[in-house]
Structure 1
Amino acid sequence: MTQNNLPGMEASAVSVLTRAVELDHSSRLQESLICYQEGIQLLMDVLKAIKDDSKKAHYREKIKGYMERAEQIKNHVQREKEEGKYHEQIKIAENATGYSYDILFRPYINETLTEVWVEDPYIRHIHQLYNFLRFSEMLLKAPCKVRTIHLLTSQDEGESSAQQNCALAEIKQSLQVHEVTLDLQYSSTIHDREIRFNNGWIIKIGRGLDYFKKPQGRFSIGYCDYNLRQCHETTVDVFHTKHTRKN
């Protein structure tokens, strides 16, 4: 890294670590841990390029403090996971942005994840089917080896039923190309919304996967990038258990 790039790298590190502290204070520990780790790495890169000894000492002290806090969070989360007591709540405000599936689910995905259960009664209309498709794409790009996705949803009625069946059949066929099996089941009584990972994480979203607002138009910001899409107000509850049920 050149000296010309140093101010930009410093600004990036400060931004990420500021976010880490904000998440930490909001008890969003798993998310804050990721930001701490990213910010620490950025600061270490800055440290390598700095020539001023006093500045080096300042950043070494900062890095030490952030590393200690990150280790505390890591141990706390691991302890609560082992005791089956972990619970984190994320409140998404009305019109908030920055909550794409990648951002929301990434903290709970790791290399041990191979199987996912999605229980959501509203994977029926076109935009909801696209939501499930985007969720599936997120899993394929994530640092894991998902091999099976179980979807339990309600079946649409009337003429829309054929549209739902065709869309889900196409998603199933497309996932097979990527060596992922879609296990599709319908229920007429399903009401609750829940996503379970076989690495122990359970995510309950008040609105299920359908928490994004309709964009103003097909050429509006947020139409393609869900991270820029406004959200409906909803609550996300995250739990960890040693074993997720498989039926």
Structure 2
Amino acid sequence: MSKLAGMESSATSVLRRAVELDGTARLPEALVCYQEGIQLLLDVLKATADEAKKTRYRERIREYMDRAEEIKKHVQLEKEAGKYHEQIHIAAGSVGYSYDRLFRPYMDKTLAEVWVDDPYIRSKHQMMNFLRFCELLVKSDCQVQMIHLTTGEEEGPRLEEQQGRLRELRDSLNKYGVTLDVQYSSTLHDREIRFSNGWIIKIGRGLDIFKPTKSPFQIGFCDYDLRECHETTVDIFHNKHLKTSMHGDVSS
């Protein structure tokens, strides 16, 4: 396959994904894919010498740009009216729901602060899930400076392990200019992630949506887009005037 053909194939794949997401009303995700696919098609257009193909590419680009603009306006109107709500049902055993896929569409350059309410950031694998979420925040285009975690406390000697791991993560995040504020609650039940740009993501299982692989040498162990999921529901809202709850001091 030539380089140009490979570029066109990549653009087609991303835009096909955009249309699929559009068809299931997952509009912010669809918008991201439309934008990525359009840029790929523009690159193909620049590298093409055939004038007939250039004309076809321009027509496709115009169509996708028009749809992307419609989505952008629709989402903005829903946000302004405080009516935006999207629901994603994740079936048991399904794949393609990495944190990158779930959260990145809502991480823009205005995002500076994140609140994570999840009573089960306790065991090692739950802590690793939270670490992966923090890594996504660090490497994204947003400007996150503060992450607030409210979770439940482990019991007995495991509490020291839990607090020690969170201290290590806090120290590591500090090197990237991000402050981690950890608070504990014995009554927390709901699982919710709030972004300072107004997006609210509620996941029935919190961050713990992935099934374990049988061994570290199976597909999906490292790449979470390929990891099977537990059944859960994701509800996404937007609140233009997001108010954050205040908790007590860090107890770690």
Q: What's the TM-score bracket when you normalise by the shorter of the two chains?
A: over 0.9
**Partner of 1:17 in structure 2?**
15
Aligned amino acid, residue 169 of structure 1: R
Equivalent residue of 1:98, what SS?
coil
Alpha-carbon deviations, 1:161-183, whole Å to 9, x = none? 12111111111122122221111
1:56 aligns with 2:64: no
What is the alpha-carbon distance in structure 1 between the residues aligned to residue 157 and residue 218 of structure 2?
Answer: 30
Greater Cα offset, 218-227 or 194-203:
218-227
1:209 aligns with 2:214: no
RMSD: 1.3
Alpha-carbon offset, residue 76 of structure 1? 0.5
Aligned amino acid, residue 232 of structure 2: T
**Partner of 1:168 in structure 2?**
166
Runs of 5+ unmatched residues, structure 1:
none
Alpha-carbon offset, residue 40 of structure 1? 1.0
**Partner of 1:245 in structure 2?**
243
What is the alpha-carbon distance in structure 1 between the residues aligned to residue 206 and residue 82 of structure 2?
Answer: 23
Alpha-carbon offset, residue 15 of structure 1? 0.9
1:120 aligns with 2:118: yes
Aligned amino acid, residue 237 of structure 1: D
Mapped contact 1:19–1:32 kept (Cα < 8 A): yes
Aligned amino acid, residue 237 of structure 2: F
Equivalent residue of 2:58, what SS?
helix
Aligned length: 245
**Partner of 1:43 in structure 2?**
41
Greater Cα offset, 199-208 or 58-67:
58-67
**Partner of 1:222 in structure 2?**
220
Q: Of 192, 195, 199, which aligns to 2:193?
A: 195
Mapped contact 1:206–1:235 kept (Cα < 8 A): yes
Equivalent residue of 1:239, what SS?
strand
1:152 aligns with 2:157: no
Segments ≥4 residues shifted beyond 6 Å: none
Q: TM-score, normalised by structure 2?
A: 0.93
Mapped contact 1:203–1:237 kept (Cα < 8 A): yes
Mapped contact 1:198–1:243 kept (Cα < 8 A): no
Mapped contact 1:212–1:230 kept (Cα < 8 A): yes
